[in-house]
Amino acid sequence: MIMTTWQGVITIIMAMLGTMLTRFLPFLLFPESKEPPRFITYLGTVLPYAMTGLLVVYSLKGVRLTSGSHGIPELLTIIAIALLHIWKRNMLLSIAGGTAVYMLLVQLVFS
């Protein structure tokens, strides 16, 4: 389906407003001069771990231990990510390094 020019303009404006709303709303609701509610502080401490767990489960949902490479590339990648993170404590390095290790294993070793 092809959009008209006005539909495209309206789509861009709505995306811009949605992005601005989600970026600015937390600063309007919780100004720096006020302490945020305890529930929000709690979510700020718990959600990063919950999201990490969710990503691990999502990443491993398609692994079949009874076929193919038996989950060996995934296991080696998890070990590499853990070691990288323990060594450098850098989330971006852990993500990039884990991605690189997995791609190398899948493309070169377990192909």
- Report pLDDT for 46: 96
pLDDT in tens, the chain (111 residues): 899 999 999 999 999 999 999 999 999 999 999 999 999 999 999 999 999 899 999 999 999 998 888 999 999 999 999 999 999 999 899 999 999 999 999 999 998
- Report pLDDT for 67: 86
Cα 74 to Cα 105: distance, rounded to the nearest angstrom: 9
Tokens 């789509």: give the residue.
Answer: 11
DSSP state at residue 35: P
Cα 14 to Cα 2: distance, rounded to the nearest angstrom: 18
- Report pLDDT for 68: 87
- Report pLDDT for 15: 98
